[in-house]
Amino acid sequence: MASITTFLCIALVSFTVVQVAVSSDPDILTDYVLPPNTTVDANYFTYTGVRSIVNSTYPTNFTVVKASLKEFPGLLGQSVSYAILEFPVGSLNPLHIHPRATELLFVIAGSLQVGFVDTTNTLFSQKLETGDMFVFPKGLVHFQYNSNATEPALAVSAFGSASAGTQSIANSVFNSTIYEGILAESFKTSADVVEKIESGLKS
């Protein structure tokens, strides 16, 4: 009896792990999902928040214009979202992860140096030109950098979730309330160095 119970427990846990591993946004059983007290017409499925970048000049700093669930409620249940990435000369989208989605990046103008690090600490880096695409697997640390000294760059990223989430590595580590001694020991450095990094991120 014990062995059958153990087997069933293992099977249940295995099934749960597999479900979590393959899941992103949950599948819906209707054509679309409406928040409570929402009137549906074509406006619900329309997002105009990206108009601001059409025929505009590049910003002075790296800028993201998002079309995710937070900005566009019509994405609820649709398992997709976008981000428009504007890279002035020499700008960087710093190290970050998307915990809930894979990212597929398409370079519309200019060029980008991009890369991600997998769980074996292997760096996969590539120089992308206009028209190129690159995939960043879900949950892995990655970056995009416009190393061109004269030309800005523009890219569009598609995500396999209406709410991919973005977690900055630097801010999560150094702008949190993690004890400085733990950070110093983790990075094999001194508390003074940790304080300088924290100060730089806050300025």
pLDDT tens-place string over residues 150-160: 999 999 999 99
Expressed in angstroms, the distance from the first to the final Cα of the chain is 63
pLDDT tens-place string over residues 36-51: 888 899 999 999 999 9
Question: Which is nearest to 96 in space by CA: 161, 143, 160, 158?
Answer: 143
Binding-site positions for oxalate read 93, 98, 103
Binding-site positions for Mn(2+) read 96, 98, 103, 142
Higher pLDDT, 143 or 180: 143
Strand partners, 96: 142, 168
- Is the pLDDT confidence value at 23 over 50? no
pLDDT tens-place string over residues 51-67: 988 888 999 999 999 99
The reported pLDDT for the residue numbered 203 is 65
Note if the pTM is more than 0.85.
Answer: no
Binding-site positions read 93, 96, 98, 103, 142
